[in-house]
Amino acid sequence: MQPFTTLTGVAAPMPAANIDTDKIIPARFLKTIARTGLGKSLFANMRYKEDGSENPDFVLNQEPYRHAEILIAFDNFGCGSSREHAPWALLDFGIRCVIAPDFADIFHSNSFKNGVLPVALPRAVCEQLMEDARMGGNARLTVDLERQVVVRPNGEEIPFQVDPFRRHLLLNGLDDIGQTLQHAPAIDGFEAKQRAAQPWLYAQP
């Protein structure tokens, strides 16, 4: 998993609450278990017309938001089903941070496990950041996980809090497998002791 330290990028404003996981990645795209290739289907029902052409009114079909790395939304982002494809699709599109007043619990957890940083800030602050985002590509936001601040284009720093353990994992690019591999020497040592103490369990048939 790619570490998340400091991100400076275009922020896309999505002034809506209760954006659920079916909106983020509709159910018809859940047949795959691959984490790549889902970016093209992100927000598909809003992003494309019935004939498959782009909806020009949708923010991610507009410049500079086609290249957004940060998404700003309102309350209860990621509600609905527990599909892990939702953060996969965001990440595959290029979005590494979602800023909203609050998040559905399972989406919140899945995001950290897949390298997407959910930042919870008061609604009034999210509204200010949306106004910044509407200024376009020259008004980039910076999300500094190490210092736990969002930096507005005017230089104002807005603090946020992340669980220390989850912050450590993101800063070091550690998913569940990465966490386990950190303990590889201890696991190997335990296995060696088990083999020595109970060799019949490891004998080849």
Per-residue pLDDT of 50-101, as tens digits, reads 999 999 999 999 999 999 999 999 999 999 988 899 999 999 999 999 999 9
Q: How far is CA 153 from CA 10, 33, 46, 59, 150, in A?
A: 11, 38, 28, 20, 10
The count of other CB atoms within 10 Å of the CB of residue 177 is 8
Q: What pLDDT is stored for residue 157 in this prediction? A: 98
Compute the distance between CA of residue 138 and CA of residue 195 in angstroms, rounded to an integer.
61
Compute the distance between CA of residue 106 and CA of residue 160 in angstroms, rounded to an integer.
20
- At 190 the three-state DSSP class reads helix
Answer whether residue 179 shows pLDDT above 70. no
Q: Is 148 exposed, middle or buried (0-12, 13-18, 19+ CB in 10 A)?
A: middle
Torsion sign across C-alpha atoms 33, 35, 39, 42: positive
Query: What does the pLDDT look like over 158-178, one tens digit per residue?
Result: 999 999 999 999 999 986 655
Contacts 24+ apart (CB under 8 A), 152-155: 152/128
Q: Answer with the residue of higher pLDDT: 178 or 127.
A: 127
Q: Tokens 């940060």 identify what position?
A: 70
User: pTM for this structure?
Assistant: 0.86
Compute the distance between CA of residue 76 and CA of residue 118 in angstroms, rounded to an integer.
12
Contact between residue 101 and residue 48 where contact means Cβ atoms under 8 Å apart:
no
